[in-house]
Amino acid sequence: MPLREPVDLVPPDQLGALHFIAMGGTGMSGIAIGYHELGIPVSGCDQADSPTLRHLAAMGIPAHVGHDPAQLDGVSTVVVSSAIKADNPELVAARRAGLRVWHRSTALAALMLGHRTVAVAGTHGKTTTSAMIATMVAAAGADPSYVIGSPLATTGQSAHIGHGDCFIVEADESDGSFLQYPTNIAVITNVEADHLDNWGSPENYAAGFDRFATAEPVEQVVVNADDPGARALAERLRHDPSTTARVITYGEADDADARLTDIGFSGMTGRAVLSHDGSDHVLNLSVPGRHNVQNAAAAFVVGKLLGLDEDALGAGATSFAGTHRRFQLLGTAELDGGTVTVVDDYAHHPTEIAAALSAGRRVAGQGRLVACFQPHLFSRTLDFADAFGQALARADLVVVTDVYPAREEPIPGVTGELVADAARAAGARVRYVQDKTALPGELAALVRGGDLVMTIGAGDITRAGPALLDRLAGHRP
């Protein structure tokens, strides 16, 4: 898939009616909601029905199942995701009719026009950090607009058009989309090679973040000082005389501008002290994991850059309950010997898996940590099989299923068994279950009271957790 270059933007009120192909996706649905809340006519479709599509229909957005050129009647602008192929019948008809065709990133960028914008980029942590910023800014009374990659656990919303000046987005680097956004405050959580099928090399991937951080509208760059890739970027920016943006670092590093100390955890909560601009602020979090403490630090710094009240920002950090598929508690089941807890997580890169399992280890306490992983993309599985194995070996028991292909065609010899073998080599106890439909039964036979079970991956592994709970006759909170 080629990298995307920015295109000229048109204000939303000049686009006419919009039609979203693959509107049921999380990213696409959020943008569609944004235009709908502005009062602009929106319609869309997807190849299969889904709760998201039904939710959009309930909001008054025409949501069709299936692709039919007749659905373009009255449409001026067609929005597509990266998953849409050139031979899609609606896309073919749109191009033949001379309609404006935009990638989803361009449609999102147009929504951002006229706002003070915050774009959160990074190999990992984009969704949670952008969601934390939206929650904390809202808690400070600023009513922000936002489009993020997963619904907030508290509201079920992934997008909102507020009355305030601030617009917060999750900035996807996978195909260069983040270069399209008119960004004022750039947040970079980390830079670690990924999506090499698009970028070609780790050097090209890192250079993309440099370009994102040095775009003309950028005024401040908030960077994680604890991540080697992000830290190197910050140092390059500070030593580049042509860079006009202010660089603010955060993290546990001694030289971080916003420094984290006294970090502690208890169950599903976390706590830290953030020292910034001569003041100390206590962050009390309702989500687990050291990575979430860092994400909250970034969000707090952004809130201060927006001129918001520090106490209100801190209260917003405490109220943040996570997003769907980010260490999301699905439910519990009672077995002899104790409670089985089931959590779902979107982690699909080795570093993300390591962070999620580290949080899981703290939550599991004396119980076993069971990781059920579905690799995502054949190319990523080939590139990172050994690293996946090393990360998964943090669990007491690892169950691996076959690769979720997403947009890719199979690569000969690349299956989930590569990851299973790598996890065994790293010392893990591993079960390879090629057929994902067999996972609930396999897991039900393996788990015991006191276990924390984590279903992990960016594909449809998310179905395994609820099915396991049903088999265990559990309940969901």
Active site residues: 126-127, 170
* Residue 281 annotated as part of some ligand binding site: no
* Residue 126 annotated as part of some ligand binding site: yes
* Residue 214 annotated as part of some ligand binding site: no
* Residue 64 annotated as part of some ligand binding site: no
Q: Which of 469, 388, 461, 379 is nearest to 423 (CA)?
A: 388
* Residue 125 annotated as part of some ligand binding site: yes
Q: How far are the Cα atoms of 77, 109, 327, 423 from residue 10, in angstroms, in the given order?
A: 11, 9, 38, 49
* Residue 30 annotated as part of some ligand binding site: no
Sign of the Cα pseudo-torsion (34, 39, 45, 51, in order):
positive
What are the tokens at 223?
A: 């960077």
* Residue 127 annotated as part of some ligand binding site: yes
Q: How far are the Cα atoms of 121, 296, 340, 356 from residue 132, in angstroms, in the given order?
A: 14, 7, 28, 17
Phi, psi of 429 (to 5 degrees): -85, 120
Burial 181-217 (b: 16+ CB within 10 A, else e): bbbbbbbbbbbbbbbebbbeeeeebbebbeebbbbee
Beta strands (DSSP E) in 31-174 are 42-46, 63-65, 77-80, 100-103, 116-121, 145-147, 159-160, 166-170
Which strand (E) or helix (H) includes residue 221?
strand 220-224
Q: Which residues are annotated as a binding site for ATP?
A: 122-128
Q: Which residues are annotated as a binding site?
A: 122-128
